[in-house]
Amino acid sequence: MINGLEKTRIRLGMLPLADAAPLIVARSCGFFARHGLEVELSAERAWAALRDKVAAGVLDGGQMLAPMPIAATLGLDGVAVPMVTAMVMSLNGNSITVSRQLHARMSQHLSGASDAGACATALAAVIAEQRGKGERRPVFAHVFPFSAHHYELRMWLASADIDPDNDVQLCVVPPSQMVAELESGRIDGYCVGEPWNEVALQRGVGVAVATKHEIWNNSPEKVLGVTRDWAHQNPNTHRAMVAAMIEAARWLDEPEHRNEAAALMVSENVLDAPAASIQASLRMRTGGIVFHRGAATYPWRSHAVWFILQMLRWKQCWMAPNFSDIASDVYRCETYREAAALIGEPCPRADYKSEGARLSGSSTPSTDGGSIMLGSDAMLDGSIFDAADPLGWLKLQRHGLPAVGYASLQFANVRQS
């Protein structure tokens, strides 16, 4: 297995977040070593810096926000070095937290339920009230223009008919500064990954009002990304790297290992956060971070198409892409299956699945002739997304209007017969 590796010493970038755990575990528990890889992890302080270093070849690859490789390949991120991913590092894990002051006002409009949907409706009522009194719009932060956080925040707001472009102000704040910004009152809420919701909660600064899981059950969060050129030049190393990471994810989803992983992250000083918050972030619970269960590591192309749609819906994309071309170029199911074969990991036979229709787990045929249980994938706004008709979904959305005409989008996606 070790023979044929094009490269054995690799440098991977990561951001100090709880869901970087698979990288820490793969290195510290010897999964990389078992596949003949000597991996150095580089803790970066910004997604832009990580992206630039991967693009420039200073890093071989790294943890990325799931939409990042797509934005890079579409050339929307200013650097435009095409990137790919063959493995999802984590599902769920983000939450939307609001300041105690904003939560107090929202509470006046909450009766009974305080789930994500009810909280969004309460926020809409507060915004209407503020507008009447001439107060400033609430400011909500996320972490990067091309992040699931950004789209989740917008989807949550839009679910209660709040226009994310006009009724609130959105901005980007680095994760480690979120809690301080919320405390200072410069922002009123944020969507961020763990442990920064836990930290706000434990310090009494903010209250979580919606989880990523509530907004879209078991949706992709971070991926393992490399440049398209790197993947082309190092196919065996790429497979070995993905195989080691799937094993790390499998290890992490055995409940007894979560505390051990938290202890590892504390002892390696990965995160500048209290140990209790890190442990709470990684605790197994409904809606919590998933690393492996339900084919979590598999790069579903339907997820890629969904992200392209968000880029269109929120005017980040100014051209008409062919959805399936981009999805198959960036989300590499084939590489995943080859890597999975190295470690006897069953994987889905399909490249796409419908999104939003699974209200509970359901099974899908796997490559070993059996089947795999997938987790639910319901969305907060109740929408069902069929990757075969992405424009149908786009047309149903109330807020957000693509900068590209439907005719052009339709034309770019006409099946060549």
Partner 1 sequence: MLVDDDQTRLAMMEQALVAEGHVIVVRLDAQADLLAGVTLHQPDVIFIDVDAPSRDTLESLGQIHRERPRPIVLFAARSDAETAHRAIHAGVSAYVVDGLHPTRLSALLDVAIARFEVHQALSRELSAANARLADQRDIEKAKGLLMKRRKIDEEEAYGMLRKMAMDRKQRIGDYARLLLAASDLL
CB closer to partner 1, 314 vs 385: 314
- Secondary structure of 20-32 in HEC code, one letter for each residue: HHHHHHHHHCCHH
Q: DSSP state, 5? A: -
Q: What 3-state class would DSSP assign to 343?
A: coil
CB closer to partner 1, 3 vs 166: 166
What's the min distance (Å) between Cβ of 300 and partner 1? 26
CB closer to partner 1, 105 vs 142: 142
CB closer to partner 1, 143 vs 261: 143
What's the min distance (Å) between Cβ of 45 and partner 1? 5
- Sign of the dihedral through C-alpha 142, 144, 149, 154: positive
CB closer to partner 1, 117 vs 321: 321
- Indicate the Cα dihedral angle 196, 198, 199, 201, nearest 10°: 120
What's the min distance (Å) between Cβ of 78 and partner 1? 6
Q: Is 261 buried (19+), middle (13-18) or exposed (0-12) by CB count in 10 A?
A: buried
Q: What 3-state class would DSSP assign to 283?
A: coil
Which ranges of 224-272 does DSSP label H, i.e. alpha helix?
228-233, 235-252, 258-267
What's the min distance (Å) between Cβ of 321 and partner 1? 13
CB closer to partner 1, 119 vs 271: 271
CB closer to partner 1, 44 vs 198: 44
What's the min distance (Å) between Cβ of 91 and partner 1? 22
Q: DSSP state, 41? A: E
CB closer to partner 1, 33 vs 43: 43
What's the min distance (Å) between Cβ of 206 and partner 1? 19
CB closer to partner 1, 218 vs 227: 227
CB closer to partner 1, 184 vs 267: 184
Cis peptide before 195 (omega within 30 of 0): yes
Q: Which amino acid is at 297?
A: T
Residues that bind partner 1 (CB under 8 A): 44-49, 52-53, 55-58, 77-81, 143-145, 171-174, 176-177, 186, 316, 405-408, 410-411, 414
Q: Compute CA 224 distance to the chain's CA centroid, rounded to the nearest angstrom.
A: 11
Of 126, 280, 256, 266, residue with least CA distance to 198: 280
Q: What 3-state class would DSSP assign to 172?
A: strand
What's the min distance (Å) between Cβ of 155 and partner 1? 18
Provide the token pair at 125: 């009522």
What's the min distance (Å) between Cβ of 363 and partner 1? 35
What's the min distance (Å) between Cβ of 401 and partner 1? 16
What's the min distance (Å) between Cβ of 154 and partner 1? 13
Round to whole Å and give the CA distance between 200 and 35.
Answer: 39
CB closer to partner 1, 311 vs 379: 311
What's the min distance (Å) between Cβ of 92 and partner 1? 22
Do the beta carbons of residue 241 and residue 63 sit within 8 Å?
no
Round to whole Å and give the CA distance between 236 and 70.
Answer: 23
Q: Compute CA 88 distance to the chain's CA centroid, rounded to the nearest angstrom.
A: 9
Which ranges of 268-300 does DSSP label H, i.e. alpha helix?
275-282
Question: Of how many residues is the chain composed?
Answer: 417
Tally of helices (H runs) and strands (E runs) in the chain: 19, 12
C-alpha dist (Å) from residue 360 to 17, 77, 288, 354, 378: 28, 36, 16, 13, 8
